[in-house]
Amino acid sequence: MNISQSVADFFSSLSYATIFTFIILLINFVLAIGMIFWERKSAQSVWAWLFVLFFIPIIGFILYVLFGRTIYNKEIFKISEEDKIGLESLVTEQLEDIKMDKLTLPSEEAKKHRKLIHMLLNNNQSFITSNNKVETFYETTEFFDQMIHDIENAKDHIHFQFYIFRLDSLGQRIYDALLKKQKEGVDVKILYDDMGSRTLKLRNFKELRDYGGKVEAFFPSRLSLINPRMNNRNHRKNIVIDGKIAYTGGTNVGEEYIGLSKKFGYWRDTHIRVQGNAVKSLQLRFMLDWNSHATRDNLKHHPRYFPEIPVVGDTTMQIAASGPDEEWEQIKYGYLKMIYSAKKSIYIQSPYFIPDQSMREAIKIALLSGVEVNIMIPPFPDHPFVYWGTYHNVGELAMIGANVYIYERGFLHQKVMIIDDEVVSIGSCNMDNRSYALNFEVNAFIFDEKEAIKNRLQFEKDTLHSRILSPEVYQSRSKWIKFKEAIANLIAPIL
């Protein structure tokens, strides 16, 4: 009997269940080897996925296919060589000037934090601008009213991008305003995330498209029920109007964001309206995102998208973008640099507070160095594992001196960090690995005392609607909560 016949006889003697189990274990082994030797993952993330793969093999394999794969295509965001050269020359010039101490930084806060500016400049979209006017919205109804007002007054184009866009009463109101402008000849482009806006289909925008408007979904699924790219979502929430006004922040489009959800109640979020040259950076970000998924009508550099903008304010800021296509976790590095630069105080508001080891150590070092650390989280979960991971992390920091607040008026969703009344970061990036490394995010880093103080005072107002998570309260938590924390902490690197 030859070897091939022996192998055939061996497999024919096995049950289908045994063969299936063998195949699954083999696939798990191959995935494990791939993660360890080829994929760009942290050691904590690799161990978490190995735990999932080998302890729940079949389910773990499905979860890995949906959530664990890495993006390798660094050309996903395409830009023409002409635009790239112009952008790179601007960034290179600013980098050289800051190295030679020749870059003009008008505010004292920018001068103090020139190393943070230098670091963010190494991202090709994060050029520094200083002629900006910033309006901050803490009430979502006011934000949407102003945004719709700006849409209604658009003259040339509207670039509209949201992670979640629901066509409920709020979404329909916004869509009607966009449709009206398209009918008037204003060029409207809508980019929504296919996973975040899972109820949307391109057919929902038929009338706008019939009038010449363009709509695209980010990483659309070819399957009707499951999107195999459930990770790597475009979590940005940006609008650019006529290249002169832009919005960015944490608010999506849906009735829950204006407090109409029974589950969430009052919704606390932060979004900013920007005028000035920082708009150019958000315009460029939209163009890159749009061109990465537009099946036609790629955006090209044109004066209509980058008009000359007069001096409208004196706020210095940078727009930083990050995503799994990038070599560096740019926004996380920005957060880290802020924490290490803090001399007096740090204020953090985030719905998902699952910092990686580098972030936890940075905050601990700040605390042990005498820096006042204040952290605020929501009162209940919208994602259970994420919430109990958040609770574990803030509890650990409360034990060593952090002031931890549980916001109780409703759901807290904004992503804000402030240090020393000098620098504030506002955007879409949460304090977790998903935002650091998996999703596509954007944050504004603002070097301005009045803006920093304004956001710190808002934090203090929010404490009036919060309870304190003291070390005593945290230590008295139930065994059931401790168990949920332990599970969440174990899988935190892949949450």
Task: Yes or no: say if 246 and 238 are a contact pair by the CB < 8 Å rule.
Answer: yes
**How buried is 210 (Cβ within 10 angstroms: 0-12 exposed, 13-18 middle, 19+ buried)?**
exposed
235 is catalytic: yes
Angle made by CA atoms 244, 90, 218, in degrees to the nearest 5: 60
The one catalytic residue in 113, 159, 181, 235 is 235
Q: What is the largest CA-CA distance in the chain?
A: 87
Q: Which residue has the tokens 């979209």?
A: 125
User: In sequence order, what are the residues at sequence separation of 6 or more whose Cβ sits closer than 8 angstroms to the Cβ of residue 168?
Assistant: 254, 255
Question: Which amino acid does the sequence have at 48?
Answer: A
The one catalytic residue in 244, 332, 337, 413 is 413
271 is catalytic: no
Closest CA to 205 of 235, 160, 250: 160
Please give the Cα distance from 201 to 179 (Å, whole number): 16
242 is catalytic: yes
Angle made by CA atoms 107, 113, 117, in degrees to the nearest 5: 95
The one catalytic residue in 150, 242, 289, 421 is 242
The one catalytic residue in 189, 244, 332, 415 is 415
183 is catalytic: no
293 is catalytic: no
The one catalytic residue in 41, 189, 237, 337 is 237
Please give the Cα distance from 283 to 245 (Å, whole number): 10
Please give the Cα distance from 464 to 395 (Å, whole number): 20
Closest CA to 402 of 459, 354, 468, 460: 468
Closest CA to 175 of 143, 199, 142, 209: 209
Closest CA to 414 of 298, 181, 252: 252
The one catalytic residue in 420, 421, 432, 448 is 420
User: In sequence order, what are the residues at sequence separation of 6 or more whose Cβ sits closer than 8 angstroms to the Cβ of residue 287?
Assistant: 79, 299, 305
- Tell me which H or E stretch contains 349: strand 345-349
102 is catalytic: no
Catalytic residues: 235, 237, 242, 413, 415, 420
